[in-house]
Structure 1
Amino acid sequence: MPQFANYPSLKGKTVFITGGAGGIGAETVAAFAAQGARVGFIDMDRPGSEALTTRLEGDVTFEICDLRDIDAVKAAFAALAERLGPATVLVNNAARDDRHDWKDVTAEYWDDRIATNLRHMFFAIQAVAPGMIEAGGGSIINLGSNSWWEAGGGFPVYATAKAAVHGLTRTMARDLGDHRIRVNTVVPGWIMTDRQKELWATPEALEKHRNRQCLPDLVEPVYVARMVVFLASDDAAMCSANNYMVEAGSI
């Protein structure tokens, strides 16, 4: 069993996470709760959100919100801040890697996928950053993907959105850096969430993927969460505008 670090700097901190009810998001909520942080997350899945908060110990709460609705996003963060206080950590996690053929993409589908995978990240930062400025600093962690680094096919709008996350991270790291707000991208590889296992993790696909990794083990969501926790902590105080890969050396 792996033994994970405890970060005293996270105890009592307020952390907001998007897409926290399942997958990488749920592992991230659990990881911060275990650090003694005050955690508020946003998700569309009410049963999943309720089940997670029931399972976890600590100060964990949620708001139900469709992240494609920017007014609803702002209202959800305001409600969380009322209960937990302003966040000094924001984790922009929410996304959906739905497969789609480039020949079938319409303008409406393009706009919906960009809204699902990218647009809300900027507006989450816009909503939360003023509180971080007032607090004297903070940490923003955006979740990217190594799918476009690997030139993966089958989801061109998703890959475009995830590539754009890196531009968002670097420009916001510059704009917010004077306020001691750090902005970084965590870049997962193929992470073995329940969704991936149910939809795409066939024995053949897994064997092919193992052959591309330097390490022989498949990557579980907890390892992405641990990188996020590190970047939120004071241990990462001089880390900003960079990519942090969690993909077992995938090539």
Structure 2
Amino acid sequence: MTATAIYPSLKDRVVFVTGGGSGIGASIVEHFCRQGAKVGFVDINQEASEKLVRDVEAAGHGKPFFVNCDLTDIEALRVAVGQVREKLGPITVLVNNAAHDQRHAIDEVTPEYWDDRIAVNLKHQFFAAQAVYPDMEKAGGGAIVNLGSVSWMIGQGGMPCYTTAKSAVAGLTRSLARDLGPKNIRVNCVVPGWIMTQRQIDLWLTPEGEAELLERQCLKRKLVPADIARAVLFFASDDAGACTNQSYIVDGGWV
């Protein structure tokens, strides 16, 4: 891992990450563990998540605590929050990372599919915040970092349910920041551009897409999960103590 900032305020802090088993989420888990934080994460992919736990431990960092959870089941999410709290202590950092950018055409969308995509990409962010903010309030403060997407900002087509949900994350962030600010709980949104996770490479990256990326980004390189994880660390740390109610774009200058 490239030498990057260490945030003393994150050491021993209890962090809850959704969708932490692979991609951007796995990088977020790894980076918090490197900071000395106590990390609990949920994911539906048990095999990938258990491998991540082994890899982080083998790298000499604190072992993250994994709970298998389908985030569309809000009661299961609440149970998972309780398990992490019982195992690691009161949660003072929440990273709402979980999402799924499945492509879909307008004519293929049914009411049931619409509800499912909102559940996968938006609904759990609110209920995770609802479940953890009492811990933060009792601790005298905390940080929530929601993950958005530039897809709706650039008018990307081919997945209207996803872009609708991700645009709503910006509104959720601002609402939670206003309501939780008096409790010294900061709420920000990190907005990734096109990040080269293995899933993106396998499913969506084409020579034409790569050419467009390099043409439209100011930075002429592919962005990787660590680029997002480092921004999340900052907003979770006390170094960002005056930052809330913001959406911070990490897209290499595409938007």
Query: Which of the five TM-score ranges fits, normalised by the shorter chain?
Result: over 0.9
The match for 1:46 is 46
Q: CA deviation at 1:208?
A: 1.1
TM-score (norm. length: structure 2):
0.97
User: Which of residues 220, 223, 229 is equivalent to 2:224?
Assistant: 220
TM-score (norm. length: structure 1):
0.99
The match for 1:174 is 178
Root mean square deviation of aligned Cα: 0.8
Superposition map of 1:34-113 within 5 A = 34-56=34-56, 57-113=61-117
- Contact 1:37/1:59, CA 8 A, preserved across alignment: no
Q: CA deviation at 1:2?
A: 4.3
The match for 1:236 is 240
Question: How far apart in 2 are the matches of 1:211 and 1:2?
Answer: 26
Question: How far apart in 1 are the matches of 2:166 and 2:230?
Answer: 20
Is structure 2 residue 191 aligned with structure 1 residue 192?
no
* Runs of 5+ unmatched residues, structure 1: none
* Runs of 5+ unmatched residues, structure 2: none
Q: CA deviation at 1:203?
A: 1.3
The match for 2:24 is 24
Q: CA deviation at 1:3?
A: 2.8
Q: CA deviation at 1:205?
A: 0.8
- Number of equivalent positions: 251
Amino acid at match of 1:132: M
Question: How far apart in 2 are the matches of 1:181 and 1:90?
Answer: 11
What secondary structure, in the 3-state scheme, does the structure 1 residue paired with 2:183 have?
Answer: coil
Amino acid at match of 1:164: A
Question: How far apart in 2 are the matches of 1:115 and 1:222?
Answer: 26
Question: How far apart in 2 are the matches of 1:41 and 1:248?
Answer: 27
Amino acid at match of 2:205: A
CA displacement, residues 49-106 of structure 1 (integer Å, 9 cap, x when unaligned): 1100111130411100000000000000100100001110000000000000011110
Question: How far apart in 2 are the matches of 1:106 and 1:131?
Answer: 38
Amino acid at match of 1:184: N
Amino acid at match of 1:197: I
Question: How far apart in 1 are the matches of 2:212 and 2:169?
Answer: 27
User: Which of residues 140, 147, 164 is equivalent to 1:160?
Assistant: 164
Is structure 2 residue 187 aligned with structure 1 residue 183?
yes
